[in-house]
Structure 1
Amino acid sequence: MLRHLRISPAARPVSLPGLRRAAVALPAYLLMLVAVGIILVPLLWMLTASLKTRQEIYTLPISWWPEAFRWENYEQAWTAVPFARFFINSLITTAVGSGLELINGVLTAYALVFLPFPRKNLVFLVVIAALMVPFQVTIIPNYVLVADLGWVNTYQGIIIPGAAVAFGTFLMRQQFLSLPREVIEAARIDGAGHLRILWSIVLPMSRPALVTFALISIVAKWNEYLWPLLVTNDADRMTLPVGLTQLQHSEGSSEWGVVMAGAVMVITPVLLVFLWARRHIVEGLTAGLVKG
């Protein structure tokens, strides 16, 4: 009769290898929670501070939740500076700048992978070398060129110097290298040209990497501060990050609730874009790791 008795899974003792794996994984999970906390706590403070009065912000000990939601901070932030103009400027520079980055990155990567031309590896080496050059190194030459062209306080002055990025070319090249060559060759046999192959075959098969590239470009363009600050001195062409500085100057160093409300309005669009594209990010960043 004893042979028919079975021990329930809940009553079985935990195996020693399982305990070891849990002991090894526990520090990693704790570090991950610490990292998430370091990222989320400032965002939570910014969100709650945007709904507080000045007295609540300066109250000690810190009060994390406002006593009454002060929505007037958002209205004041929107009207204290031409926030609508800043928003339109950021939309234009981000949409056009990211579009140019995508076009240049995709076409350059396609040429490096599928087009035969001499010194292809040397060209790719130059692209990789450009990844090592900090953007700050090129600021002075870019500004001198933009000033000579008369592009100060213009959209093209903000957009054109950042219309190409080496990282996007590298990312899309690695993705294109991982595509099955049989499909590309079959399309060529059927008479498809390069643009048809790129649009109908290569880009649909590379959607995760393309979405990742677009997301990185959009976030970078939307949050760019230093270059728009240097190349604009007129509110009609200032972008949101520069406008946020103008808001801080107009409100002084005490009305942090209004400034935090402006900051929330600045980061909300990119957070929404990230939530839309999050499922493609990991797959896109790991594309092409096997083949190189």
Structure 2
Amino acid sequence: MSTSQTTEPTTSAIVTAGAGTPGEAREPRRPFRKYFRETGWRHLVGIVATVFALFPLLYVFSASLNPGGTLLTANSLFSQISLDSYVELFGSDRHPYAAWFMNTLVIGLITALFTVLLGALAAYSFSRMRFTGRRFSLTALLVVQMFPQMLAMVAIFLIMVTISDIFPAIGLNTQIGLIMVYLGGALGANTYLMYGFFNTVPASIDEAAKIDGAGHARIFFTIILRLVAPILAVVGLLSFIGTSSEFVLASVILIDPDKQTLAVGLYKFVSDEFSKNWSVFAAGAVLAAILPVALFLALQKYIVGGLTAGSVK
């Protein structure tokens, strides 16, 4: 057999390769009306939702680059571009933005950490242990969370004033006191959410560890926490975002400007009657949104699994 016969494909082979699998035919293109009725309207809804979600973000970013300082001058998107608002944001002695940012970061991370730890401990107890009043306690936690902390704002303030007279380090106008208030209201919904996820972990894992001599503490910290990482990430993220954007309790408990958070501090840029500066306010809002968005993107693979896995049991 010659070389040309082994390397050059025949005409019939080319026709066969181009024709595809015998008996398989291409689907005819759908008419536009049928395409729009079956699939196209979903694309249209997605585009509208995307534009609806992105427009406020673009507007705030455009306002932060507009040196006018008013919302009226910021109506034209990116008509003027300047970084003066960002420079003024960190150069003002009256409004210590850097201190507010660090306070928010510290309070948010500590609150998120202890919210996850306390919620996981409570969820593990309800999921693995059987004791009198277990069902009633779960229901009570869920019912109590129906009433927001804002309704108890006056009571919380009076309690913090009383604590300040005895333990000033954790009383009114302290960041530790604010963290304790946040932790007090974070157990209900988070515990119930974690409880559903803990129930999806087979109890046979605990039994096998107990046979090897492990106690509840070792099982919880070395085995269970690794298996429930998605729900831990979800609760930590939601707790951080919630405490970072919380305004009412932070404005009541924190009095000194150097101890306040971003939500309370940024309000000062637009609360003065004669010195409202929306451009600086928008610049501060843009910078404040960077960390939550970064955490959301980093933990997004856990969010769907963490929120849905506990709902099947």
TM-score, structure 1 normalization: 0.87
Query: Would you say 1:203 and 2:210 are equivalent positions?
Result: no
Distance 1:90 1:52 in 2: 26
Of residues 157, 169, 181, the one that matches 1:143 is 157
How far the C-alpha of 1:20 sits from its partner, in A, is 7.0
Query: Would you say 1:154 and 2:174 are equivalent positions?
Result: yes
Of residues 126, 143, 152, the one that matches 1:112 is 126
Residues 69 and 280, structure 2, Cα contact 8 Å, conserved in 1:
no
Q: Secondary structure at the match of 2:311?
A: coil
How far the C-alpha of 1:158 sits from its partner, in A, is 1.1
Of residues 51, 54, 57, the one that matches 2:68 is 54
* Partner amino acid, structure 1, of 2:76: S
Aligned residues: 285
Distance 2:34 2:218 in 1: 54
Residues 63 and 278, structure 2, Cα contact 8 Å, conserved in 1:
yes
Of residues 65, 74, 90, the one that matches 2:78 is 65
Query: Would you say 1:174 and 2:196 are equivalent positions?
Result: yes
| Aligned 1:274-285 pairs, distance under 5 A | 274-285=296-307
Residues 116 and 236, structure 2, Cα contact 8 Å, conserved in 1:
yes
Partner of 1:262: 284
Distance 2:280 2:79 in 1: 14
Query: Would you say 1:163 and 2:183 are equivalent positions?
Result: yes
Query: Would you say 1:84 and 2:98 are equivalent positions?
Result: yes
Residues 270 and 276, structure 2, Cα contact 8 Å, conserved in 1:
no
Distance 1:10 1:144 in 2: 78
Partner of 1:242: 264
* Higher deviation after alignment, 129-138 or 215-224: 129-138
Partner of 2:206: 184
* Partner amino acid, structure 1, of 2:145: L
**Residues 251 and 99 of structure 1: CA distance in aligned 2, closer, same or farther (over 3 Å):** farther
* Partner amino acid, structure 1, of 2:88: Q
Partner of 2:28: 13
Distance 1:272 1:10 in 2: 47
**Residues 130 and 55 of structure 1: CA distance in aligned 2, closer, same or farther (over 3 Å):** closer
Distance 1:280 1:205 in 2: 12
Distance 1:284 1:195 in 2: 23
How far the C-alpha of 1:192 sits from its partner, in A, is 0.9
Q: Secondary structure at the match of 1:288?
A: helix
Query: Would you say 1:122 and 2:142 are equivalent positions?
Result: no
Distance 2:150 2:35 in 1: 45
How far the C-alpha of 1:167 sits from its partner, in A, is 1.4
How far the C-alpha of 1:156 sits from its partner, in A, is 2.4
**Residues 24 and 251 of structure 1: CA distance in aligned 2, closer, same or farther (over 3 Å):** farther
Distance 1:234 1:119 in 2: 43
Distance 1:48 1:282 in 2: 32
* Partner amino acid, structure 2, of 1:112: F
Q: Secondary structure at the match of 2:290?
A: helix
**Residues 36 and 147 of structure 1: CA distance in aligned 2, closer, same or farther (over 3 Å):** farther
How far the C-alpha of 1:193 sits from its partner, in A, is 1.0
Distance 2:245 2:69 in 1: 30
CA RMSD of aligned residues (A): 2.8
Query: Percent identity of the aligned residues?
Result: 28
How far the C-alpha of 1:56 sits from its partner, in A, is 9.1
Distance 1:30 1:131 in 2: 38
1:104-155 deviations in whole A, cap 9, x for unaligned? 1111001101122112111111111123122222222211111111111111
How far the C-alpha of 1:208 sits from its partner, in A, is 0.9
Partner of 2:54: 40
How far the C-alpha of 1:253 sits from its partner, in A, is 5.4
Structure 1, unmatched stretches of 5+, are none
* Higher deviation after alignment, 244-253 or 261-270: 244-253
